[in-house]
Chain A
Amino acid sequence: MNKNLKLIGDGLVKNNPTFVLLLGMCPTLATTTSAINGMSMGLATLFVLVLSNMAISAISPLVPDKVHIPVYIVVIATFVTLLQFLMQAFTPAMYETLGLFIPLIVVNCIVLGRAEAFANKNGVIASACDGLGVGLGFTLALTVLGLVREILGSGSAFGFNFIGGHDGMLAFVMAPGAFLCLGYLLVLFNKIFKK
């Protein structure tokens, strides 16, 4: 049990996919225009990550080595498509906001990376915990980045506006702000956690 808890904790800080491993940059930069959007993208990835990790650790003994990558990709794509159906049915507005980046979870290197590095040599429960930890780490990073961009760019936090009718610094909501904010957040992270 403790081992599984440690796996979740590792994903959050020590192996944080965004700040430490620097994986999955595309959705990180593209969908963090607000804290809510960032969090939704993180949770969507978490959903796929946990399920695909579990499925892959269950089937990996049966898959010949030569075709393991295509098989994993098919499994991941299946869960992503499932997620697309569910979002279209129950959260259509969020599905529209995140747009292209929902199907692109298939090629998010975090998902395939965890399948290759962890799920295919560990048990189902450990893989689920690993997926949960890394997914939460990703969600946390996206929410923080989204929050910073939302505060600077629109003067609000989680949709709650605190600067009245004024405009924020729009560049932070647009493309350049994504790169700049992530760059400075990484500097901060390096300063605090890497001596």
Chain B
Amino acid sequence: MEYFLIIISAIFVNNIVLAQFLGICPFLGVSNKLSTATGMSLAVCFVITLATLVTYLLNMYLLVPLKIEFLQTIAFILVIAALVQMVEIVLKKVSPALYQALGIFLPLITTNCAVLGVAITVVTKEFAFVPGGTLNLAQALVYAVATALGYGLAMIIFAGIREHLALSDVPKAFKGVPIALISVGILALAFMGFSGIV
């Protein structure tokens, strides 16, 4: 049951972009075309899941036992940066096709605050519907995947909207980011309808 709640909560109710404001820069940056938006979503999904797994274990088995939780921020960002580099190298060797598809997005992901945001959230935040409040490893992973799916959902919906926006005649001062932000605002308004269901 709590897995179901975690998934619904992370995708719809507390959507990472539309309710938590994480990962906005790439959200606005690469949502011009549906195809790049899909590629970016996949890359983010991959990295968020992997990074959450590694940072969760790092926190549990290294930082907490050694009582150096105060190094959390610095340790997490280093791990994420190294991980992204590694994924890039491995992908290049193992699956050139996938690398072609995701490659250009990977360096951008290190500074995507969604990744660090989720990594910190799963080890610090208290969840009302989880017994004991804090997530265990399996729940943390489910949360990470669901959050990434929510990211993908928002990104793909928005890229669809933007492809239409590009064809419409908007006033000069609204062109580009302003009209995009206003559209996201309306999208966020729609997603507010989900609040309170979990």
Question: Which residues of A come within 8 Å of B, CB atoms?
Answer: 22-27, 29-30, 69-70, 73-74, 77-78, 80-81, 84-85, 100, 103-104, 106-109, 112, 171, 174-180, 182-184, 186-188, 190-191, 194
Shortest B190–chain A CB gap in Å is 9
Task: State whether A179 touches B73 (Cβ < 8 A).
Answer: no
Task: State whether B25 touches A109 (Cβ < 8 A).
Answer: yes
State in angstroms the CA–CA spacing of A74 and B74 once bound together. 6
Given A25-B24, A30-B21, A107-B113, do A180 and B182 touch, yes or no (CB 8 Å)? Answer: yes
- Cβ of B178 under 8 Å from chain A: yes
Q: Give the contacting residue for A78; candidates B74, B113, B117; CB below 8 A.
A: B74
- Most B C-beta atoms less than 10 A away, residue of A69, A78, A85, A190: A190
Shortest A120–chain B CB gap in Å is 16
Q: How large is the interface on B (under 10, 10 to 19, 20 to 34, 35 or more residues)?
A: 35 or more
State in angstroms the CA–CA spacing of A98 and B25 once bound together. 19
Task: State whether A190 touches B178 (Cβ < 8 A).
Answer: yes
Contacts of A74 in B (CB 8 A): 74, 78
Task: State whether B78 touches A179 (Cβ < 8 A).
Answer: no
Task: State whether B185 touches A187 (Cβ < 8 A).
Answer: no
Shortest B23–chain A CB gap in Å is 7
Given A84-B73, A190-B173, do A183 and B189 touch, yes or no (CB 8 Å)? Answer: no
Closest to B21 in A: A30
- Cβ of B22 under 8 Å from chain A: yes
Task: State whether B182 touches A179 (Cβ < 8 A).
Answer: yes
State in angstroms the CA–CA spacing of A2 and B186 once bound together. 45
State in angstroms the CA–CA spacing of A175 and B194 once bound together. 13
What are 8 inter-chain pairs, A to B, with CB distance below 8 A? Answer: A29-B24, A30-B21, A85-B70, A180-B185, A180-B186, A183-B177, A184-B178, A186-B178
Contacts of B117 in A (CB 8 A): 100, 104
Given A26-B21, A109-B25, A175-B18, do A186 and B181 touch, yes or no (CB 8 Å)? Answer: yes
Task: State whether B111 touches A112 (Cβ < 8 A).
Answer: yes
State in angstroms the CA–CA spacing of A183 and B110 once bound together. 26
Task: State whether A81 touches B74 (Cβ < 8 A).
Answer: yes
State in angstroms the CA–CA spacing of A33 and B179 once bound together. 21
Task: State whether B81 touches A70 (Cβ < 8 A).
Answer: yes
Closest to B190 in A: A176
Task: State whether A22 touches B113 (Cβ < 8 A).
Answer: no
Shortest B46–chain A CB gap in Å is 18
Closest to A112 in B: B111
Task: State whether A29 touches B182 (Cβ < 8 A).
Answer: no
Shortest A102–chain B CB gap in Å is 9
Q: What 1/0 flags go to B164-196 for Cβ under 8 Å of A?
A: 000000001110011111101110110110000
Task: State whether A175 touches B19 (Cβ < 8 A).
Answer: yes
Closest to B119 in A: A103
- Most B C-beta atoms less than 10 A away, residue of A100, A106, A112, A188: A100
Shortest B195–chain A CB gap in Å is 9
Task: State whether B177 touches A186 (Cβ < 8 A).
Answer: yes
State in angstroms the CA–CA spacing of A154 and B39 once bound together. 40
Closest to A188 in B: B173
- Cβ of B121 under 8 Å from chain A: yes
Task: State whether A73 touches B78 (Cβ < 8 A).
Answer: yes
Contacts of A25 in B (CB 8 A): 21, 24-25, 28
Task: State whether A100 touches B120 (Cβ < 8 A).
Answer: yes
State in angstroms the CA–CA spacing of A84 and B25 once bound together. 24
Q: What 1/0 flags go to B110-128 for Cβ under 8 Å of A?
A: 1111011100110000000
State in angstroms the CA–CA spacing of A176 and B82 once bound together. 35
Closest to A77 in B: B74
